[in-house]
Structure 1
Amino acid sequence: MLSISEFSQMCHLSPQALRFYHAEGLLVPAGIDERTGHRSYAFDQVERAMLITLLRDTGMSVKLVRRALDEPDQAVALLDRHSDEVDRQRRAQAEAITAARAVFEAQPEPQLRHVPATTVVGRLVSGTPLGRDAQEWDRAEDILLAAATELVTTVTQAGVTCLGGPWRTLALETQEQDRKVLDGVGPFWIVKVAVAGTSETLPSLPADLIVQTCDAHEELSILMPGRNTMAKYCTVVLRLLDAPPLDGDRFVNLARLRQEVRPDGVLSSAPVERRPA
């Protein structure tokens, strides 16, 4: 029999690791002195210690390691699934690093820009959750991205030319929309795209599409790198609120904030309007 110290040196596992594996049921000592509590190991347990080390070095959880050891015929399949998960995590980390670097390098600040008069086609988006947690927010993002893509496809198939990419804005444009949003019923969002032509010259479009004429105006815009999150959305709102004061009686109408998802990030823009007399 080998003492825990001897077994530790033989397997290159610390005594703390051996005690942890014992507690988790992965590597139970061959014997335990009832009086002193000292653990001892058999030489043939070296192989199991070696397998545990191999699997743990891959980043596998104790739970998966236990299953791989208890079901050796499933070990390769478990390793394959673990490898896929590791690749997914690496991609997610790489994206996060890129986004973090972009935010710190760009130091996004609001910019004032002119928007010419244009015709806009929109559609209410049903079924988006409120985004109360990260999972809900991501699900809403997926729904909005799909709805924006579908809107562009529908408009294009009708023979209408889209001018730039689609965007989304909160459904607060009518009293009915406003009431449904405040009641938590929804729809909460509208997806839109600028198009060539006017409401009079556009061909027939599906009845659920909304055609609007938008006058020329100024917007305060900010590009936030990376994917959209609730924290980034709130940060954009804060930076637009903290932007240098506008002259005269003009203000930034954050209730009409719109977001355009781009390959390099999300462009958020709010119109500059004059306060009512």
Structure 2
Amino acid sequence: MLSISEFSEMCHLSPQALRFYHAERLLVPAGIDERTGHRSYAFEQVEQAMLITLLRDTGMSVKAVRQALDEPDRVVALLDRHHDEVHRQRKAQDEAIQAARTVFGAEPELQTRPVPAMTLVATLVHGTPLGRNAQEWEEAEALITATATALVKTVEDAGATTLGRPWRALALETPRQEGRVLDGAGPFWIVKVPVAAPAEVLAALPAGLQVQEQDPYDEMSIFMPGRNTMAKYCTATLRLLNANPLDDGTFVNLARLRQELHDDGVLIAAPVEQRPGQGHPAR
């Protein structure tokens, strides 16, 4: 029998790690002194310790390691699944690092630009949760993105040309929509894409799609790098809110806030509108 210190040196595992593996029932000592509580190990347990170390060095959780040891015929499949998860996490971390570099290297700034007149095709996004927490936000993001992708395909299949990226906004365009958002019934989001198409193509679009003619306007925006999160959405909203009121008598209308996803981040923007009684904004 080997003492815990001897076994520790032989297996290159600290006594603390061995005690932890014992508590987790991964590597139970061959013997425990009832009087002193000292642990001792059998030489044959070196192989078990080696296998645990191999699996733990991959980053597998204790739970996954236990499953691998209990089901040796599934170890390769479990390692493949773990590899895919590690790859996904590394990709997410790389994107987060790049986003952090961008934010800290060049603080996102508000910008104002003119938006031309355009024809839009819009559709409500059904079934999204309220977005009260990170999980609901991710679920809503997936549904909104899927709806936007389907919208682009539908209008292009119908013969229309998309003129830019689709975007999403809160569904507050009619009193009915606003009422359903405020009472929590939904739909909460609407997706739009700018298009060019003959009138007959637009008229033949499937039911449920809305064709809207948008007049030109000025827009204030901020670009937040990285994936779209609730915190970034709130930060951008706060930046735009702090711009109000503007010196020329205009204001940023946050009720018409929109989000436009890009490969490297999200553009969050809202129209700059004239305050009542102030005349027309300069263009």
Q: Residue 168 of structure 2 aligns with which residue?
A: 168
Q: 1:22 to 1:140 in 2, by over 3 A?
A: same
Q: Residue 25 of structure 2 aligns with which residue?
A: 25
Q: Shift in Å at residue 75 of structure 1?
A: 2.2
Q: Quick one: distance in 1 between partners of 2:49 and 2:153?
A: 58
Q: How does 1:76-91 map to 2 (within 5 A)?
A: 76-91=76-91
Q: Is the 8 A contact 2:4 2:15 kept in 1?
A: yes
**Given the alignment of the two structures, is residue 132 of structure 1 paired with residue 132 of structure 2, yes or no?**
yes
Q: Residue 70 of structure 2 aligns with which residue?
A: 70
Root mean square deviation, CA, Å: 2.0
- How big is each residue's C-alpha offset from its partner over 1:209-237, in whole Å with a ceiling of 9 and x where there is no partner? 22222222111011111111111100110
Q: Shift in Å at residue 197 of structure 1?
A: 6.1
Q: 1:209 to 1:71 in 2, by over 3 A?
A: closer
Q: Residue 36 of structure 1 aligns with which residue?
A: 36
Q: Is the 8 A contact 1:158 1:203 kept in 2?
A: no
Question: Per the alignment, in what secondary structure is the counterpart of residue 162 of structure 2?
Answer: coil
Q: Residue 212 of structure 2 aligns with which residue?
A: 212
Q: Quick one: distance in 2 between partners of 1:54 and 1:196?
A: 58
- How big is each residue's C-alpha offset from its partner over 1:77-118, in whole Å with a ceiling of 9 and x where there is no partner? 222222222222212211221222222233111101111222
Q: Shift in Å at residue 10 of structure 1?
A: 1.5
Q: How does 1:205-244 map to 2 (within 5 A)?
A: 205-243=205-243
Q: Is the 8 A contact 2:118 2:214 kept in 1?
A: yes
- How big is each residue's C-alpha offset from its partner over 1:5-48, in whole Å with a ceiling of 9 and x where there is no partner? 21211111111111112222222222222222222222222221
Q: Residue 276 of structure 1 aligns with which residue?
A: 276
Q: Residue 14 of structure 1 aligns with which residue?
A: 14
Q: Is the 8 A contact 2:120 2:213 kept in 1?
A: yes
Identity across the alignment (%):
73
Aligned length: 277
Q: 1:30 to 1:93 in 2, by over 3 A?
A: same
Q: Residue 52 of structure 2 aligns with which residue?
A: 52
Q: Is the 8 A contact 2:159 2:201 kept in 1?
A: no
Q: Residue 248 of structure 1 aligns with which residue?
A: 248
Q: What is the TM-score normalised by the length of structure 1? A: 0.92
Moved more, 189-198 or 210-219: 189-198
Unaligned ranges ≥5, structure 1: none
Q: What is the TM-score normalised by the length of structure 2? A: 0.90
Letter in 1 for 2:225: P
Q: Is the 8 A contact 1:223 1:268 kept in 2?
A: yes
